[in-house]
Structures are given as C-alpha cells and as structure tokens.
C-alpha cells in the first residue's frame, strides 16, 4: 500500500472516530472520489459545481466538470467519450467577461460571453453555475 493510501486511510479513520470535517484540495480526481463526501469543482477560482460525490460523478452538470471526469482513466460511473478542451485557460488576473469557462466551453451560448451565470440548485444539494440550467 502506498504512503498516499496509508495517509488517506488514517485521515478517514480519524474522520470517523472524531467526527472531523476536512477541506481537501486536490487535482487527483480518483482520490477526491474516494475521500470526499461533497465536492466543489472550481475553474479560475470560482465554484462551477457543488454536489455530493456520488451525484457529481454520476451526473455531472457543468461542461468543465464533464470534461474533467471524461479524462479520468477507468470507470467513474459516468464515462462519456473523452472531451478535449480547445485553447488555453484564461489568465485569472484578467478573466473573460461572463462565464469564465466560455472561451473553452464546448456547449457555450451567446449569453455565456456577457453574463456571469448564477449558482442554482438543479436537484437537491446539487448546485451549478451554468446558463444551460
């Protein structure tokens, strides 16, 4: 068992025994899925989707979340064809107007480039910031 797995198992044991809550920040989506009960997906410092882990991995709503999950090797419950994003991520120092993700979004609409989407609850405890909803 790897050192990483040992540490995560220890953290999980402590969480259970002591009723702890963690704020766990990671780019390793397999670890996030294993370790986290709720997940917030961020793009350029903005939360674009927030949900229970199983809901998010099974029914991702935001196009950025969909693209991230499509890149995970193996089975995640929701395994569409790999989504390749075009272009480079904008600078967080000079983000685009409207939705920060719109320059790279494969589902963008005209409104996305001018109006920042509000976070809405699409299903119970599943929030998304996207004009598609």
Question: Is 88 within a domain?
Answer: yes
pTM above 0.75, yes or no: yes
Q: Please check the confidence at residue 21 and state whether its pLDDT lies above 80.
A: yes
Question: Is 53 within a domain?
Answer: yes
79-103 pLDDT per residue, tens: 568 899 998 999 999 999 999 999 9
pLDDT value of position 95: 94
40-76 pLDDT per residue, tens: 999 999 999 999 999 999 999 999 999 999 988 875 5
pLDDT value of position 72: 87
Question: Is 15 within a domain?
Answer: no
Question: Is 24 within a domain?
Answer: no
Question: Is 21 within a domain?
Answer: no
pLDDT value of position 79: 58
Total number of domains constituting the chain: 1
Burial 14-47 (b: 16+ CB within 10 A, else e): eeeeeeeeeeeeeeebeebbebbeebebebeebe
Question: Is 75 within a domain?
Answer: yes
Domain that holds residue 50: 37-129
3-state helix, strand, coil in the chain (%, to 5): 30, 15, 55
What secondary structure does DSSP assign to 85-126, as a single string? PPS-PPPTTSPPSS-TTTTT-TT--GGGGTSPPPEEEEETTE
Question: Is 55 within a domain?
Answer: yes
Q: Please check the confidence at residue 77 and state whether its pLDDT lies above 80.
A: no
Question: Is 46 within a domain?
Answer: yes
């Amino acid at each position: 068992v790897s050192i990483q797995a040992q540490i995560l198992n220890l953290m999980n044991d402590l969480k259970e025994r002591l009723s702890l809550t963690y704020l766990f920040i990671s780019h390793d989506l397999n670890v996030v899925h294993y370790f986290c009960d709720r997940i917030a997906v961020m793009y350029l410092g903005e939360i674009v989707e927030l949900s229970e882990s199983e809901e998010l991995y099974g029914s991702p709503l935001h196009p950025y979340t969909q693209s991230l999950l499509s890149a995970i090797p193996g089975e995640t419950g929701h395994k569409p064809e790999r989504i390749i994003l075009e272009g480079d991520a904008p600078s967080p120092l000079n983000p685009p107007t409207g939705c920060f993700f719109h320059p790279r979004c494969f589902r963008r609409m005209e409104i996305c480039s001018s109006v920042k989407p509000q976070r809405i609850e699409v299903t119970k405890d599943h929030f998304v910031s996207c004009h598609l909803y």
